[in-house]
Structure 1
Amino acid sequence: MSHQPNVTEVADCLLRIEIELRRLDAWADQRPSEQALQSTQPFAVDTLEFTEWLQFIFLERMKWLVEQGQALPSVSGMAPMAEEYFRAREESGRALIRELAAMDRLLSK
């Protein structure tokens, strides 16, 4: 039987990820185009910024899965992607990377 992460822990972690995105001023008010959201690339790297992918694809999907009581994905490698994204930026994404690493651990237990 596969391990399902604790839904409360996952929901709390989703909230902390959103808080960090807002704190970094990376929370977008404008939704990307449907076309951009349909990307088939990992993290939609061809059409979205990593933070947009987090907000509009990852967070929305995960919130929906949690609310619907659906199975959560069992692998997650967001922290390394976030480290790569913030390496080229002035602002430090350390707290966000920490939350993403926590989510990675929760989902891949």
Structure 2
Amino acid sequence: MGTLKYGNGDDATFTMDDVDLAHLAAVVTAKLRRREPFLLTCRSETTRQSIWIHEASTLVYGYETPAAIDLDRARLEAMVVDTNRPTGLTVRCEARALHAVGALAAAA
């Protein structure tokens, strides 16, 4: 399982499959290179949390798998389309590891 850490310190941490995280990282990188902010929602069976991704966002990707992951071009293209929707991109996360602290926890 991989992790996406958002913010300075431990503002929010999302845990997901390494393959899902690799695809998300590629999409986020492409969007931020073009200075295109978007809404990212991480959803589990029991929780949902959204964050605003923009060029000043601090993001750290951690992978359990050391090897490079092959990316599916069709999946990437579909994810990019979703980032442009008013509801943004929704990804699946693990409920047991989805947590927030600080300002994000107060808003939840």
TM over 0.5: no
TM-score by length of 1: 0.31
TM-score by length of 2: 0.31
More strand by share: 2
More helix by share: 1
